[in-house]
Chains A and B, each alone.
Chain A
Amino acid sequence: MSEFLKGNYELKVEIEEKKEDAEHTATDEFERKALSRLGGSICFVSKKGFLWTGDAPKS
């Protein structure tokens, strides 16, 4: 949020990020990184059968 909102004043109190939010952000980051490097050697397409040999000719 601090990337987008900038104030021209200074607060008298210190705002602390909630610990839960920080943990969620860390978990999301773990998962994002994991997804970019894990996975299979070939794709899987759900509910599309096992073999597609092309469209059947139109009669």
Chain B
Amino acid sequence: MELGRRIASRLRDATFDRIAHVGLANAARHRPHIRRSVLELATLPLGAGDTALVVAAGPSLHRRRSLERLAARGFRGTIVAVDSALAACLRNGIVPHVVVTVDPHDRIVRWFGEPALAAPSADDYFRRQEMDPVHAADEVSANRSVVALVDRHGSRLRVAAATSAAFSAVSRCRAAGMELFWWNPMYDDYERPDSVSRKLHGENGLPCLNGGGNVGTASWVLAHAVLGKSRVGIIGMDFGYPPDTPYEKTQYYPELREMLGERLGEAFVHIENPVLGEKWFTDPAYCWFRDVFLEMAREARCETFNCTEGGVLFGPEIKTSTLEEFLDHG
């Protein structure tokens, strides 16, 4: 088995080891501020009908101009956006019904705008990432625009916040006037008596949602398992990189370069997209997200339409369609 796939196959346990303690510490810190459960979202009028569109922040979102096309076509269903896609949505005049945030690390506050940011951060994450390219050129100016956008629309936004989410990100949401609806990440098998998920649920009473490794998959789970949508489209869910992407522009490049040195290239897995006929590539983390999504899609009680028009997510349980085809049948 290739090195990249071998690492990917072991990321489920590694994610627990790396994330659980931070997420649980954040949950304890959030607890006095928790008022509403994510289950309440299902009782609110969030878009018409049984259709939802999940907006993730992969490179196809920009390459395919998915948000411009969504705004032009219009959509009466429910829009669920990941935190890193929020600003792009707002720039295109799309106010999502729900924004999902899960990441326990403080840097994630940037997706909601950091009012105090005065100089580029030492960490080059936002200049390098592919999720919102506007941060690459001038991150201070881009951040200022995000702050203004989020402040303008905050009172119309609902956030499905995992109790693992960074305290700074959630505080920023609250300050911008967003409504918060809480849930616990499912950390482990809740049927085991020593389960972390069971203990956390016992402490705060919130439902546990199986997040699938990343905020995009968690948003898809929310759309069908919490909001009860039976047709769920997804855009920007690439789980990979376009063929012309330099390795240094990928999510985990610094870590992989430091760890693997000259063997860096072995960590990437190349997969042909059968619809586009393009050979995309993915790193161990995205490769794991893809495998998990395909496993979860087999169990889901919804039809899933991948309207990303790029990436590496395809399989028997996922229908592929253009965004317009999906919207016109919504």
| Contacts from A to B (Cβ < 8 Å) | 27, 30-31, 33-46, 48-54
Question: Across the interface, do A35 and B225 meet the contact criterion of CB distance under 8 Å?
Answer: no
- Given the known interface contacts A51-B207, A52-B201, the answer about A42 and B6 at a Cβ–Cβ threshold of 8 Å is no
- CA A48 to CA B217, docked complex, whole Å: 15
Give the docked Cα–Cα distance between A51 and B39 (Å). 10
Q: Is B141 an interface residue (CB 8 A)?
A: no
Within 8 A of A (CB), among B178-223: 185-191, 197, 201, 205, 207-215, 217-218, 221
- Min Cβ gap B178→A in Å is 20
The 0/1 profile, CB within 8 Å of A marked 1, for residues 12-42 of chain B is 1011111110010000000000000001000
Decide if B189 touches A42 in the complex (CB within 8 Å): no
Q: Contacts A31-B10, A42-B15, A43-B16 given; 13 further ones with Cβ under 8 A? A: A30-B259, A30-B260, A34-B260, A37-B255, A39-B15, A39-B18, A40-B288, A42-B164, A45-B188, A46-B295, A48-B190, A50-B221, A52-B186
| Pair B11/A50 contact, Cβ less than 8 Å | no
A11: min CB distance to chain B, Å:
34
Whole-angstrom distance from the CB of A48 to the nearest CB of chain B?
Answer: 6
In angstroms, Cα B263 to Cα A16, docked, is 25
Query: Chain B binding site: helix, strand, loop or mixed by DSSP?
Result: helix
Known contacts A27-B3, A38-B285, A43-B16, A53 near B11 by CB under 8 Å? no
The residues of A that contact B201 with a CB separation of less than 8 Å are 52, 54
Known A40-B285, A42-B185, A42-B215: A52·B14 in contact at CB below 8 Å: no
Distance, CA A33 to CA B14, complexed state (A): 11
In contact, A42 and B10 (Cβ under 8 angstroms): no
Q: Is B299 an interface residue (CB 8 A)?
A: yes
Q: Is B256 an interface residue (CB 8 A)?
A: yes
CB nearest to A54 among chain B residues: B201
In the complex the two chains form, is B252's CB within 8 Å of A38's CB? yes
Known A-B contacts A48-B210, A54-B201; A38 and B226 likewise in contact (beta carbons under 8 Å): no
Which residues on A sit within 8 Å (CB–CB) of B105?
A: 41
Instruction: Enumerate chain A residues within 8 angstroms of B14, measured Cβ to Cβ.
Output: 35-36, 38-39
User: How far in angstroms is the closest Cβ of chain B from A14?
Assistant: 29
Residues of A within 8 A of B205 (CB): 54
- Write out the residue numbers on chain A whose beta carbons fall within 8 Å of the beta carbon of B288: 39-40
